[in-house]
Amino acid sequence: MNKPAYFFKSFTFVASKLKIHFNMIRYSLAVLSLILMLTSAKAQDYKTFYEKSEFKKTPSYAETMDYCRLLASTSPKIHLSSLGKSPQGRDINMLIIDRDGLQTPEAIRAAGRVITLIQACIHPGESEGKDATLMLLRDMVTQNKHKNLLDKSSILFIPIFNVDGHERSGAYNRINQNGPEEMGWRTNALNLNLNRDYMKADTPEMQHWLAMFHAWLPDFFMDIHTTDGADYQYPITYAVETFGNLDSGLTRWLKNIYEPRMSQKMAEAGFPVFPYVQFRQWHDPQSGLRNGPSPAMISQGYAAAANRAAVLVETHMLKDYKTRVDGSYQMIVETLSIVNHQAETLKTLNQMADKSTVAPDFRKQDMVLSWEADMHDSTMVTFAGFDYEVRKSDLTGGNWYIYNNTKPVEFTLPLFDKVKPGKVIKLPAAYIIPVEWAEVIDRLKFHGINMKTINEETRLEIKSYRFYNPDFRCTPNEGRHMVNTQAEVITEQRTYAPGSVLVPTNQRNAKIIALLLEPMASGSLLEWGFFNAIFEQKEYAETYVMERVAREMLAADPKLAKAFEAEKLKNPDFAANQWNMLNWFYMQSPYHDRKFLKYPIGLIEKEEVYRRLF
Ligand SMILES: [Zn+2]
């Protein structure tokens, strides 16, 4: 018997003996291949729209929400919720991701975890945060990657905040930006920029967001954007509030823990980062760099006013879309990793920040209403830019900055990032808002501010402001006519009708209250134009009536003649205008409007007075 025949015989012999086993193996193989098929189909199904497009496209609202629903149906850790409807009727959805599938702030806090809010597409043309986080969550729940990121932190993820702007999609929405192929529009359907609306809350989107924020009070907040501005090497820049507008403990944590660790990890991962600076002269890096606090009307500034740390992530517009999404992915992973590692510290610091705002000492300190840059104090830093030349444009006569992104250059530049308080006040014990300024009362409610309604007519002495030299911007800003004005402090008796509200300042939102209600605060409701009607003079004297009355007033009060002459000397325009001169007399007559140019909101300085009302 030759060898092959022998082997064949032996094989069939063994095979027949082990037939049952072969059948089992065949069966197992079939099951295995079915599993493999299903797994590969599963892997295929979980590819995001962005990945399927070879990293060139970003999904529509409907496609994004389908994917969110897929994730939620795949894993009990993910739950889909809605903040509310947009002006065009779309749901502003949010994913709640928790290792035990918990879905409420109370349950998550009871489990001892911190909460991180990740927000994308407040500017829908800047969609990296959406595509990066969808992939990250998929990797977490289908591939068990980055599992530890849910150890001590639960995640809230808003894939598209500005849902209506997101659907105004097109290839020509961001001229400065390198992909994706089509993208959403910057503003909402009412042409308002949600990232200027955190304080005034004009948009339904922001009103829903504020309700969510104050219900959940995330321990850390990431808001993900794409830059405009100059060309440089960094794929990602970032902003954290370390200038004095955030609680001091949280500021130190950002400076000493978050910033250095995040920067180092990002550099190690191949995504070197730099603070989101501006150049002292537009487009010219060598003019020096500027950095400073963000106003509370924008995301990370609002978080600071609400005693919470945040990071603004800005991917660089000229890097390709994949680099920007990968960079965002990395930034989210590193941030979540630090938040998890620091969960206990962060929780304690947030509690301390809230306690310090409530404490009586907070009302003895200066409350800063605006900041001023200190342009005399700078530090030298290394900035990874690109070589550039400045050409005189033969088209416009202006400077044309031509960056050469094949020639990286390390510039040594002065960074001006010191600020000092501009306007400051001491907080009163409470503010009192007349019932008729209902719009103002309603806006305050969105910010989770505690207030008490007075049930009967109340007369009391208050401090307030009288305005002078108001200056109205003639073009609208965010649909509003803003006013800058000067003010003097006045004290007077006022009567407040039932339904008026008292807003005590011994609450965790004290900074937000002051920034909304102190008229001199940058971004106050007064500055946004909520009180424009008080600047209008509604009663007046006919000249022929006032010519007579003015004479009677002069005869009755000799001092008035002196003041009148002084006013004429001071202001030649006044002296040349009959109406102005007669109106000057009218304003000093008993007929003048006692509410004209006065702030309707009163400040109750003494705790006892406020307490007596309750
Ligand atoms: Zn943006």
Q: If 0-12 CB within 10 Å is exposed, 13-18 middle and 19+ buried, where does residue 63 land?
A: middle
Calculate how far, in angstroms, residue 244's C-alpha sits from the geometric centre of ligand 1. Answer: 23
Calculate how far, in angstroms, residue 110's C-alpha sits from the geometric centre of ligand 1. Answer: 35
Residues 121/168, Cβ–Cβ less than 8 Å: no
Q: How many CB atoms lie within 10 A of CB 443?
A: 21
Give the residue-averaged pLDDT of 343-348: 98
What is the band of 15 on the pLDDT scale with cuts at 50, 70, 90? Answer: very low
d(CA 88, CA 190): 10
Residues 497/600, Cβ–Cβ less than 8 Å: no
Calculate how far, in angstroms, residue 129's C-alpha sits from the geometric centre of ligand 1. Answer: 11
Q: How many CB atoms lie within 10 A of CB 503?
A: 24
pLDDT at 230: 87
In one letter, which amino acid is 345?
T
pLDDT at 14: 47
Calculate how far, in angstroms, residue 236's C-alpha sits from the geometric centre of ligand 1. Answer: 13
Calculate how far, in angstroms, residue 184's C-alpha sits from the geometric centre of ligand 1. Answer: 12
pLDDT at 318: 94
Calculate how far, in angstroms, residue 573's C-alpha sits from the geometric centre of ligand 1. Answer: 46
Calculate how far, in angstroms, residue 523's C-alpha sits from the geometric centre of ligand 1. Answer: 19
Report the 3 state secondary structure along 308-361: CEEEEEEECCCCCHHHHHHHHHHHHHHHHHHHHHCHHHHHHHHHHHHHHHHCHH
Mean pLDDT of the chain: 93
In angstroms and rounded to an integer, the radius of gyration of the C-alpha atoms of the chain is 32
pLDDT at 19: 52
**Which DSSP state fits 480?**
B
Calculate how far, in angstroms, residue 42's C-alpha sits from the geometric centre of ligand 1. Answer: 34
Calculate how far, in angstroms, residue 441's C-alpha sits from the geometric centre of ligand 1. Answer: 30
Calculate how far, in angstroms, residue 409's C-alpha sits from the geometric centre of ligand 1. Answer: 27
In angstroms, the Cα distances linking 278 to 227, 244, 254, 351, 370 are: 11, 19, 20, 33, 19
- Picking from 139, 142, 165, 324, the residue whose alpha carbon sits closest to that of residue 234 is 324
d(CA 377, CA 280): 14
d(CA 457, CA 453): 11
When mean pLDDT is compared across 326-330, 401-405, 610-614, the lowest value belongs to: 610-614
Calculate how far, in angstroms, residue 440's C-alpha sits from the geometric centre of ligand 1. Answer: 28
d(CA 80, CA 409): 46
What is the band of 27 on the pLDDT scale with cuts at 50, 70, 90? Answer: low
221 forms beta bridges with 117, 310
pLDDT at 26: 60
- The answer, yes or no, to whether residue 9 has pLDDT greater than 60, is no
Q: If 0-12 CB within 10 Å is exposed, 13-18 middle and 19+ buried, where does residue 6 land?
A: exposed
d(CA 385, CA 395): 27
Calculate how far, in angstroms, residue 226's C-alpha sits from the geometric centre of ligand 1. Answer: 5
Q: Which residues surround ligand 1, an ion (CB under 5 A)?
A: 123, 126, 225
Contacts of the segment 551-556: beta carbons below 8 A, 24+ positions apart = 553/585, 553/588, 553/589
- The answer, yes or no, to whether residue 291 has pLDDT greater than 80, is yes
- The answer, yes or no, to whether residue 171 has pLDDT greater than 70, is yes
Calculate how far, in angstroms, residue 607's C-alpha sits from the geometric centre of ligand 1. Answer: 42
Calculate how far, in angstroms, residue 134's C-alpha sits from the geometric centre of ligand 1. Answer: 19
Calculate how far, in angstroms, residue 202's C-alpha sits from the geometric centre of ligand 1. Answer: 19
Calculate how far, in angstroms, residue 422's C-alpha sits from the geometric centre of ligand 1. Answer: 27
Which ranges in 359-484 belong to alpha helices (H)?
438-446
Calculate how far, in angstroms, residue 201's C-alpha sits from the geometric centre of ligand 1. Answer: 18
Calculate how far, in angstroms, residue 312's C-alpha sits from the geometric centre of ligand 1. Answer: 9
Calculate how far, in angstroms, residue 59's C-alpha sits from the geometric centre of ligand 1. Answer: 18
Calculate how far, in angstroms, residue 538's C-alpha sits from the geometric centre of ligand 1. Answer: 42
Calculate how far, in angstroms, residue 612's C-alpha sits from the geometric centre of ligand 1. Answer: 47
Calculate how far, in angstroms, residue 554's C-alpha sits from the geometric centre of ligand 1. Answer: 61
What is the band of 41 on the pLDDT scale with cuts at 50, 70, 90? Answer: very low
For the segment 90-137, what is each residue's pLDDT rounded down to a tens digit? 999 999 999 999 999 999 999 999 999 999 999 999 999 999 999 999
pLDDT at 2: 44
